[in-house]
Chain A
Amino acid sequence: MSNYEIYIAIIIMALINLFTRVFPFLFFSKKELPKSLEFIEKFFPPVIMTILIVYTLKDIDFSLYPYGTKELTGIIFTAVLHFTLKNYLISIFFGTIFYMGLVQYL
């Protein structure tokens, strides 16, 4: 992207982000959610998080050696760390260091 396009993109993201935060204050004066929204509220966040994991791997070429095994190992390592130590900073920090080690030294 050119610099000019980057600034427009930032403005768009800032506005949309703000919109998602203002939304309930604009449209729900009571504390009740319509049934259909309740469904989205409950089930969409896990869906988008899963999608975003795969999205971050979109530039990996899985048809070439080592076929994405480094990414998969990194994800498993991070997940195991998080299940055992339950500290999100440790999981993200050491997960990333581990992956950087795989990419830089193997």
Chain B
Amino acid sequence: MKYEREIKTAFKISIPVMMGYGVLGFAFGLLLVSFDYPWYLAPIMSLFIYAGALQFVAINFFNAKAGFIDIAIASWFVNLRQSFYGLSLLKRFKNTGKLKAYLIFSLTDESYALLTTIKDNDQLKKRWYYFFLMAFNQSYWFLGSTLGAIVGSNIKFNTAGLEFSLTALFVVLCIEQYKSLKNSTPFVIGAISSLFALVFIPSDKMLIVSITISLLLLFFFKKRLNDE
């Protein structure tokens, strides 16, 4: 088989992501159909959006009947962190030719983490190795979410409280952020803006208002943040 070595190495490296994406994807599929959305939205979203947190949040957008502009702005901010990932990969992605488009499209948190930690192996054709690695990752997310959606729409069980998987996901991401940043001010800013919006703003506008207030607060406390 052509590229056999690349495929094998990529598969081995991707196994931890298989566990993560399999389980989280399954939870996403289950949650999606628990609100009576058709199961095939799961594979469609996992194929074309392919962003864990955003796909979970998307279910909230559907439920809240959020406006398209609000969805666009909120999606941008939810995934803004991804705009900084590419910076450390500019060099790695050089000379990847046509595959570069897919490498960039599939740049999720986990794929980014893998790409920045693996060492290049001179025996492997780099661009194909990267390509298979990214494709394996997306296939886990795709299969996990599709399976979750199909299982969820065929087996009826009490899913009350399942939506907490999204809350738990963000709690975990938040803790990871705190471990690397060791500065509590941004968390306080996030909490104040969102709690204010939770109390005073209708739920379909809540995310946008929280983001706006938090950005204002961030710039207001810029000096303090940089000094800490």
Contact = CB atoms under 8 A, between A and B. Distances in A.
Interface of A: 1, 5-6, 8-14, 16-25, 28-29, 31, 33, 37, 39-59, 71, 74-75, 78-79, 82-83, 88-89, 91-93, 95-96, 99-104
B18 to A, nearest CB: 11
B75 interface: yes
B225 A43 contact: yes
B198 A52 contact: no
Given A21-B86, A21-B107, A55-B206, A47 B186 contact: yes
Contacts of B75: 12-13, 16-17
B200 interface: no
A1 B61 CA distance: 9
B158 A88 contact: no
Which of A10, A13, A57, A74 has the largest number of chain B CB atoms within 10 A? Answer: A13
Interface string B84-116: 111110110100000000001101000000000
A57 B167 contact: yes
A56 B226 contact: no
Contact of B170 (A10, A23, A25, A56): A56
Contacts of B15: none
Contacts of B165: 92, 95-96
Given A6-B41, A21-B105, 5 more contacts: A1-B61, A21-B82, A25-B104, A48-B78, A56-B166
A17 B225 CA distance: 28
Interface string B158-174: 11111111111111111
Contact of B164 (A28, A42, A48, A95): A95
Given A24-B87, A39-B226, A104-B161, A49 B174 contact: yes
Interface string B48-62: 111101100110111
Interface stretch (B120-128, B135-143, B189-197): B189-197
Contacts of B91: 31
A9 B62 contact: yes
A8 B70 CA distance: 13
